[in-house]
Amino acid sequence: MTSKKNIGIVKPKIFKSLIPLKLQNGEILTEYNLIYETYGALNKKKDNAILVCHALTGNHHLAGRHSSKDKYPGWWDNLIGPNKPLDTNKFFVIGVNNLGGSDGSSGPKSINKQTKKSWGADFPIVTVEDWVSSHEALITSLNISKLAGVVGGSLGGMQAIQWSIQFPERINHSIVIAAAPNLTAQNIAFNEVARQSIITDPDFNKGNYYEKNRHPKRGLRIARMLGHITYLSDDVMGSKFGRKLKNKKYKYDFSTEFEIESYLNYQGDKFAEEFDANTYIRMTKALDYYDPSKGSKPNLSKVFKKIKSKFLVISFTSDWRFSPDRSKEIVKALLDNNIDVKYAEITAASGHDAFLMAEPRYHSILKSYFNKMLVN
Write the CATH number for 208.
1.10.1740.110
pLDDT digits (tens, 9 = 90+) for 78-133: 999 999 999 999 999 999 999 999 999 999 999 999 899 999 999 999 999 999 99
Instruction: Give kind and range of the element (H or E) at residue 28.
Output: strand 28-29
Specify if 2 maps to a domain: no
pLDDT digits (tens, 9 = 90+) for 18-40: 999 999 999 999 999 999 999 99
Which residues form the domain of 193? 188-284
User: What is the C-alpha to C-alpha distance for residues 75 and 281, in angstroms, rounded to an integer?
Assistant: 21
Beta strand 28-29 with 32-39 is unpaired
Same domain? For 326 and 312 the reply is yes
Residue 2 binned pLDDT confidence (cut-offs 50, 70, 90): very low
* Residue 187: how many other CB atoms lie within 10 Å: 18
pLDDT digits (tens, 9 = 90+) for 39-83: 999 999 999 999 999 999 999 999 999 999 999 999 999 999 999
For 240-374, list the strands marked E by DSSP: 310-316, 341-346
Q: Which entry of 60, 135, 173, 352 is annotated as an active-site residue? A: 352
Three-state DSSP class for residue 296: coil
Same domain? For 33 and 142 the reply is yes
Same domain? For 229 and 368 the reply is no
pLDDT digits (tens, 9 = 90+) for 321-363: 999 999 999 999 999 999 999 999 999 999 999 999 999 999 9
Beta strand 92-96 with 49-53 is parallel
**Of 254, 284, 314, which residue is a domain's last?**
284
Partners of 39 in the β-ladder: 93
Average pLDDT estimate for 150-163: 98
Specify if 66 maps to a domain: yes
User: Which pLDDT belongs to residue 4?
Assistant: 66
Q: Which entry of 319, 327, 350, 353 is annotated as an active-site residue? A: 319
Partners of 28 in the β-ladder: 22
**Of 216, 249, 284, which residue is a domain's last?**
284
Average pLDDT estimate for 289-310: 89
Same domain? For 113 and 194 the reply is no
Average pLDDT estimate for 310-320: 97
pLDDT digits (tens, 9 = 90+) for 159-206: 999 999 999 999 999 999 999 999 999 999 999 999 999 999 999 999
Using an 8 Å Cβ cutoff, are 81 and 7 in contact? yes
User: What global pTM score does this model have?
Assistant: 0.95
Active site residue 106: no
Same domain? For 98 and 192 the reply is no
Active site residue 325: no
CATH of the domain at 47: 3.40.50.1820
Q: Which entry of 17, 154, 309, 315 is annotated as an active-site residue? A: 154
**Of 258, 284, 310, which residue is a domain's last?**
284
Specify if 256 maps to a domain: yes
Q: How many structural domains are present in the chain?
A: 2
Active site residue 77: no
